[in-house]
Every structure is written in structure tokens, then in C-alpha cells.
């Protein structure tokens, strides 16, 4: 999101209005049978496949209905474990967490494609770069396109039918040119892309034109991005949930078991550590979370469910 220009937000809003005018007046909520101003929420687990610890926690959360969606990191070593689970649970809402970085100090991976085909994504040690900034500086958009296609293809070869694609560490949004590839590939595979309204602020008109009427826009997404000292975990989530507005929202959780494996992966990393992820898991499966959602009139929806009415709606345009 480096190319923000002052007029872009205005342009984006006009563009979206234009899209909206051409569509039925029905909101997504109405299409799904909810009141016009319903607060819709996807409860989404990120980073699935990263480790056994993450896989175990995510499976537990799916089975206890603590989450209703999630996305998988295909290049990670534990991908086959979660792929097997996803294949055997086609009812679940599972997408691909497109991955261009390997951010942990002692635990590494590279791309699905041979490194020689994606040299701009590979550091001198032979792995993906650790940061989105390095991806922004180095990535060749055509190589990114090839790699994200390969990640989707591998997922499908393992029996996964991705309900959506999204982006690990936002690295696919590192530059407008990469973002364009994300939209392009999503369109070609006919897979919804995670596209929060706020992302549009950074897009050029050329890229905005790629956002067609079939695109599902996420009005707001929420996650705990840094622990607030003195504020208990459940209180932070309560505040987030109370702030949710009408429209389509996504709550992003990072689940894991706080065990040796996860502690070792997240060593020397300030946020998203093993204890953090265990707290996310504990909260996701808690009665308190369910109660707060209920109290705030939140309706849970999945990528799979929202895709259907939009597909038929876009077919009318």
C-alpha cells in the first residue's frame, strides 16, 4: 500500500457508488435473508498449515464452532497435514492464505515453484524473504503471479476446493502491481479474494477497474495487532465486537497451542507469539465469545455462503 494518492479514496468511493448503482439495491445481508443493516461476520483463522501446533488449534476451533472460516499457507512444511483434513471436510470454509514471506527466525520455507523460477522472491539463504518490505522491494509481479497460481494449484491437487484467497502479512498488497496479480488470479480461478474496502484507498484507477461487480468487498476487518497492556484478551475482543458495523466484516484470529514447537517458531518475535495464539484459541472456543456475538446481533457468514448469491447476482449484470 505504498502508492496512496490523496484523490484515490474519493475516486474509489465514486467508483464503488457507480458499481452499486448498476446493481440491485439489495444489500448482501438481504441477499442472505438478513435485515438490510445486519452485521455479518466471518470468524477467520489465519496461518493454517504453518505448524502442527497451528493445525491442531485450528481443527479444534473448527470442531468446537469457534471459527467458521480459515485459510491455508501452502508452502509451509505442515501443509499436507491440514490439506488431508480439509479434503476430508469439504463442508468447511477454507481458502488459501497466499504466502510470499517466511518471517520466523529459525523455521523457514521457500515457494511452491522452483526457486529458479521465482528468484525475485528468494533471499540469499534460499528462502522467502522475512518481511513484506523486502517483498515490495524485490518481487517481480510476473513471478508472484506464477507462484500464487502454483499455490492454488497445489492446494487443488491435494483435494482442497478453496472458497477464497487472502494474503499472508498483506504482502500481495506490497505494491499496486502485485495487488493487480491478486485480483487477476482470483478472477481467473473464479475464487473470491479478500478485499477490504480500506485496501481500495491504495489502488490506482487502472487497478480499480479490475474490481468487478462480482467482487465481494469486506467493509471492515478486525484483528488484535498488538497486545494492549493491562487490557485482558477477552476485553479487547469484546471492544472489537461491540465496534462492528453493519455490512460484511471479518475477524481475523491467529490460533495455536502454546507449546514448545510454537514457542520455538515465534522466538524473538514481538507479536503473534505462542501464548498470544493460545489466548486467541481459548477465546474463539469460549462461551463468552458466543455470548458477545449474540448480544451484539452479529450474524456469522462464510465465504462459501456469500459467494452463492453474489454469483447469481453478478450473472444478472
**Contact positions toward a copy of itself, by CB under 8 A?**
51-53, 56, 77-81, 84, 105-109, 112, 114-117, 125-126, 154, 157-158, 257, 259-261, 264-265
The smaller minimum CB distance to a copy of itself, of residues 203 and 257, is found at 257
**Residue 166 CB, nearest approach to a copy of itself (Å):** 22
**Residue 152 CB, nearest approach to a copy of itself (Å):** 13
Cβ atoms 66, 285 nearer than 8 A: yes
**Residue 263 CB, nearest approach to a copy of itself (Å):** 9
The smaller minimum CB distance to a copy of itself, of residues 8 and 55, is found at 55
**Residue 272 CB, nearest approach to a copy of itself (Å):** 17
The smaller minimum CB distance to a copy of itself, of residues 150 and 169, is found at 150
Q: How many helices (H) and strands (E) does the chain have?
A: 14, 7
The smaller minimum CB distance to a copy of itself, of residues 198 and 264, is found at 264
The smaller minimum CB distance to a copy of itself, of residues 92 and 257, is found at 257
**Residue 69 CB, nearest approach to a copy of itself (Å):** 22
The smaller minimum CB distance to a copy of itself, of residues 60 and 217, is found at 60
One DSSP character per residue, 65-85 reads: TS-SEEEE-TTSTTHHHHHHH
Residue 14 main-chain phi, psi, to 5 deg: -60, -45
Residue among 81, 67, 108, 22 at smallest CA distance from 250: 67
**Nearest-angstrom CA–CA distance, 1 and 173:** 6
The smaller minimum CB distance to a copy of itself, of residues 10 and 156, is found at 156
**Residue 205 CB, nearest approach to a copy of itself (Å):** 38
**Nearest-angstrom CA–CA distance, 131 and 133:** 5
Residue among 253, 271, 255 at smallest CA distance from 41: 253
C-alpha dist (Å) from residue 210 to 15, 88, 184: 11, 34, 7
The smaller minimum CB distance to a copy of itself, of residues 252 and 257, is found at 257
**Residue 62 CB, nearest approach to a copy of itself (Å):** 17
**Residue 187 CB, nearest approach to a copy of itself (Å):** 25
The residues that bridge with 45 in the sheet, in sequence order, are 70, 253
Q: What contacts 314, CB < 8 A, 6 or more positions away? A: 212, 213, 214
Q: Which helix (H) or strand (E) holds 166?
A: strand 165-167
Residue among 227, 222, 237 at smallest CA distance from 276: 227
Residue among 145, 146, 144 at smallest CA distance from 128: 144
| Residue 256 CB-density burial (10 A; 0-12 exposed, 13-18 middle, 19+ buried) | buried
Amino acid at each position: 500500500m505504498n502508492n496512496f494518492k490523496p484523490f484515490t479514496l474519493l475516486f474509489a468511493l465514486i467508483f464503488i457508488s457507480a458499481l452499486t448503482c448498476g446493481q440491485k439495491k439489495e444489500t448482501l445481508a438481504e441477499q442472505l435473508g438478513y435485515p438490510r443493516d445486519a452485521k455479518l461476520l466471518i470468524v477467520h483463522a489465519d496461518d493454517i498449515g504453518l505448524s502442527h501446533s497451528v493445525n491442531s488449534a485450528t481443527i479444534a476451533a473448527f470442531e468446537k464452532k469457534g471459527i467458521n472460516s480459515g485459510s491455508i499457507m501452502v508452502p509451509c512444511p505442515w501443509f499436507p497435514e491440514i490439506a488431508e483434513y480439509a479434503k476430508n471436510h469439504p463442508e468447511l470454509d477454507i481458502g488459501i492464505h497466499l504466502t510470499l514471506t517466511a518471517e520466523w527466525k529459525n523455521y523457514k520455507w521457500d515457494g511452491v515453484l522452483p526457486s529458479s523460477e521465482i528468484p525475485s522472491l528468494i533471499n540469499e539463504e534460499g528462502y522467502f524473504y522475512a518481511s513484506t518490505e523486502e517483498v515490495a522491494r524485490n518481487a517481480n509481479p510476473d513471478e508472484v503471479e506464477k507462484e500464487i497460481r502454483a499455490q492454488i494449484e497445489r492446494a487443488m491437487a491435494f483435494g482442497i476446493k478453496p472458497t477464497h484467497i487472502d494474503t499472508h502479512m498483506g504482502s500481495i498488497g506490497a505494491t499496486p502491481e502485485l495487488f493487480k496479480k491478486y485480483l487477476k488470479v482470483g478472477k481467473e480461478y473464479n475464487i473470491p479474494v479478500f478485499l477490504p474496502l480500506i485496501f481500495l484507498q491504495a489502488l490506482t484507477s487502472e487497478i480499480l477497474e479490475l474490481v468487478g461487480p462480482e467482487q465481494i468487498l469486506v467493509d471492515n476487518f478486525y484483528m488484535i495487532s498488538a497486545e494492549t497492556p493491562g487490557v485482558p484478551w477477552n476485553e479487547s475482543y469484546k471492544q472489537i465486537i461491540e465496534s462492528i458495523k453493519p455490512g460484511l466484516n471479518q475477524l481475523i484470529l491467529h490460533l495455536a497451542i502454546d507449546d514448545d514447537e510454537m514457542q520455538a517458531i515465534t522466538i524473538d518475535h514481538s507479536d503473534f507469539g505462542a501464548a498470544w495464539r493460545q489466548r486467541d484459541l481459548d477465546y474463539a472456543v469460549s462461551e463468552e465469545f458466543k455470548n458477545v456475538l449474540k448480544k451484539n446481533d452479529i450474524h456469522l457468514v462464510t465465504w462459501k455462503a456469500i459467494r452463492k448469491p453474489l454469483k447469481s447476482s453478478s450473472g444478472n449484470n
